[in-house]
Amino acid sequence: MNDVVTTPVIAELRDRIARLEGGRARGAEVLPFGLKAIDRVLPGGGLALGCLHEVAGGGNGAIDGAAAALFAAGIAARTKGKVLWCITRQDLFAPAIAHVGLGSNRVIYVEAGDEKSVLACFEEGLRHGGLGAVVAEIARLSMTSSRRLQLAAEGSGTIGIAVRRWRRQTEAADFGQPTASVTRWCVSALPSSPLPVPGVGRARWQLELIRCRAGESADFEVEACDDKGRLALPSDVVYGSPQKEIGRRRASA
């Protein structure tokens, strides 16, 4: 029996069908976190480029919301090229964004009057094709809008990050509605890493991967992004806390 030959035209048609069905195009690149604990649960070993991803704070407070924004900035910092950041509120703290590796020389801020305008800028930025990442702060994201954003991202290969922010508690319920996003994350602030001397250690986050297309949900305790946008595992998570180690020694004794 003769093998079926797949022509470039057929391969392109298959990829188009996969995109229309909400799937990721074959051979799409990924952006690894550089942590095996996270990368191994993500299809392809990292965040899919040319796709839409969602990030939200684990709670309704400003601290978790800031952590979510910094998590998104850390991802964008590890891409190449300019980053378009679409906002409706003038409360994004640029020095904090720069602290996780996304300097002001790389960011183009777009202030829109309402969420409809933000979504329009978000989609246009993804279709541009010359940006490293596009980030947009939005409260509501419908299935129709997310599909348009996903298709725009797939067409250009640019990663899109929707940072979900709410002005009121009733809007938070929208985060539970289905969208076309490839992954959905919740970020919650934790007590900072302990230091052997008085002071404040590196911030910690609880990352919850609550949705991953073609993957499973998971949660991770990590140290916040450094000045290169990279996460790290806390030493007491990697090696075990000193208290646990003492307990193991006493038990073995």
- Encode pLDDT of 138-168 as tens digits: 999 999 999 999 999 999 999 999 999 877 6
pLDDT confidence of 47, banded at 50, 70, 90? very high
pLDDT at 21: 52
Higher pLDDT, 174 or 20: 174
> For the residues 32-58, what does the mean pLDDT come to?
95
Q: Please give the backbone phi and psi of residue 123, each rounded to the nearest 5 degrees, phi first.
A: -65, -45
> For the residues 190-211, what does the mean pLDDT come to?
86
**Range scoring the smallest mean pLDDT among 28-37, 96-105, 167-176, 237-246:** 237-246
**Range scoring the smallest mean pLDDT among 13-27, 31-45, 156-170:** 13-27
Answer yes or no: is pLDDT of 217 > 90: yes
Answer yes or no: is pLDDT of 79 > 80: yes
Residue ranges and CATH numbers for the domains of the chain are 25-252 (3.40.50.300)
Q: Are 18 and 25 in contact (CB under 8 A)?
A: yes
Residue type for 90, please? Q
* pTM greater than 0.85 (yes/no): no
pLDDT at 195: 75
Q: Which of 232, 220, 157 is nearest to 185 (CA)?
A: 220
> 188-199 burial by CB neighbour count: b if 16+ within 10 A, else e?
bbbeebeeeeee
